[in-house]
Structure 1
């Protein structure tokens, strides 16, 4: 098997260049779109005291050396979320951020250790407004790329079609025959034994050391995600509160949170929250997430105490993170994320 040419070889760059130029046009169109909607574009520092506190996100660690030789542990952020929410606490109302973010343990056709996250936040807005934002951006990306459809590995979605909207409870019932919310208590606690029995009955593997979250993810990946965003984009919403560490509970049902994910062509594109602003509850959730991270990976990350302090004065808001590179992939039909990144990180071919 021959080794592929490096991305900087002239013939490979020539093959990639049309998609890269489309990427530039999409970024410019998005910037203009947010400016017209009175968003302020902000920049988030990549170096943070905490890279984020979700159990299955792995960060790159480094340290800052002071003039006197003191060492301060720092991380490259996995998202600009903490910085953006501090800006909301400071008084900004509508912000957008195109951020280079860094995630370790991630490399494949849809994953890259460094990629571009587009995040935007609306103070005082319901999180359903973000669904309308997504509809506008998907249509704009396709139009800017000169494509009538989003495409990935033989699957297509019409970016201008009305979004399908499905709850996690509906998806689990229809695709796996599982009553998901029967395994979630009113206070958000989960019943691992009940979900394990349902997952086994659905014909999926159950291991003795699987947590409720492990089982939830296995069903989601195996039975649900491949069917999302086919023909038209899908909004998958109302995640159980245990699977939405930074989202507030739904006023309609305390077992679920104001969280949705956007899919097209079976690919996850965005993750949105009605933002949790209860600092003590956020601390509790982060502590649980880091305990799970320590159990699975043998490491954990510090909490950003300034973020928790800012959260206490942050206004009610909704926010969303969209994987820009993935959207460019779908708008251009590129098969791999490295095809739409100008200078991919060195490493084994994805």
Structure 2
């Protein structure tokens, strides 16, 4: 094994240790849930992978929320997740995800968690309050920058966010115009997404056109996606049906609704949850340009 790859794997191990240390030190319980399930979240933009007759999870979200409905309060998990036909500098079809949930919390609390976690990892690696990624110094001291989706499109985009949403160019503009500008000198939290782009999130009080959703960016790389959780099973069912309708309109097969999750949702307390890409986080601390540099076996080596 080349020295650089070995060093990256050592850093990866330390990052995962620091993640566990951070959450256990803050009273979270580490849990494990199945990666193969008879039903998953119906999402228009994700094509699932099958294992025999079961779906490989794209996220442990459904099972973790069901644990909240059974009176668990602060939980986290580091696990493998799967997405079909996703491979590139920042994507793997099989990737490592960190997901955590906190009851009686909102997406604002998760923003604070993200700040603390990044600083905890950097401190454990002996990096202090700053890193250098691809020759760009990045200041990790709090508070991280915060910008709404509307502000980001008005500042960096070629058209307003609502116009991009209406004409179907939102994702394209996010990828090519907005994301490269986020988190270049310090981590950036992009928040208050249009309601149509957050099927599992609560709407924002006082403005139901927006959802309580945010993403964390560092060096133009999306690290995490979190939100205040929707706990209304009727509304959640309606949103799942809408996602399946979008899939059908795109000639994608509909996915079975997660009925046991919807049944448990009525018992779920108010909570906030977030998923963070561990591989991408490791990339930053290894100063790696490709996700293949921070895993033991990239797909093309298997």
- Tell me whether the two structures share a fold, i.e. TM-score over 0.5: yes
Q: Which residue in 1 is equivalent to 2:257?
A: 303
Q: Do residues 225 (structure 1) and 214 (structure 2) align?
A: no
Cα distance per residue 1:317-341 (max 9 Å; x no partner) = 0001000110110011012112111
Give the TM-score, by structure 2 length.
0.94
Structure 1 counterpart SS, 2:66: helix
Give the TM-score, by structure 1 length.
0.81
Q: 2:145 aligns with which of 143, 164, 177?
A: 164
CA distance in 1, matches of 2:177, 2:299: 32
CA distance in 2, matches of 1:262, 1:112: 19
CA distance in 1, matches of 2:301, 2:203: 41
Structure 2 counterpart SS, 1:224: helix
Q: 2:154 aligns with which of 138, 161, 173?
A: 173
Q: 1:44 aligns with which of 10, 18, 33?
A: 33
Structure 1 counterpart SS, 2:63: helix
Q: Is the 8 A contact 2:47 2:83 kept in 1?
A: yes
Q: 1:262 aligns with which of 216, 231, 235?
A: 216
- Bigger fraction of residues in strand: 2
**RMSD of aligned alpha carbons:** 1.8
Q: Is the 8 A contact 1:53 1:301 kept in 2?
A: yes
CA distance in 2, matches of 1:250, 1:213: 24
CA distance in 1, matches of 2:141, 2:124: 13
Q: Do residues 88 (structure 1) and 95 (structure 2) align?
A: no
Q: Which residue in 2 is equivalent to 1:237?
A: 191
Q: 2:51 aligns with which of 39, 55, 62?
A: 62
Structure 1 residue 255 displacement after superposition: 0.5
Q: Is the 8 A contact 1:245 1:286 kept in 2?
A: yes
**Matched pairs, number:** 301
Q: Which residue in 1 is equivalent to 2:295?
A: 341
Q: 1:293 aligns with which of 243, 247, 263?
A: 247
CA distance in 2, matches of 1:151, 1:341: 20
CA distance in 1, matches of 2:251, 2:167: 15
Cα distance per residue 1:249-304 (max 9 Å; x no partner) = 00031110000000000000000010001111111111111221233352232111
Q: Do residues 247 (structure 1) and 236 (structure 2) align?
A: no
Structure 1 counterpart SS, 2:107: coil
Structure 1 residue 157 displacement after superposition: 2.1
Structure 1 counterpart SS, 2:8: helix
Structure 2 counterpart SS, 1:119: strand
Q: Do residues 140 (structure 1) and 82 (structure 2) align?
A: no
Q: Is the 8 A contact 1:150 1:332 kept in 2?
A: no
Cα distance per residue 1:98-133 (max 9 Å; x no partner) = 111111110001000111110110011122111111
Deviates more, 1:21-30 or 1:318-327: 21-30
Q: Which residue in 2 is equivalent to 1:190?
A: none
Cα distance per residue 1:134-154 (max 9 Å; x no partner) = 001111222233435445444
CA distance in 1, matches of 2:108, 2:8: 31
Q: 1:329 aligns with which of 264, 283, 286?
A: 283
Cα distance per residue 1:33-83 (max 9 Å; x no partner) = 1111110000011001123211111211122xxxxxxxxx21110000001
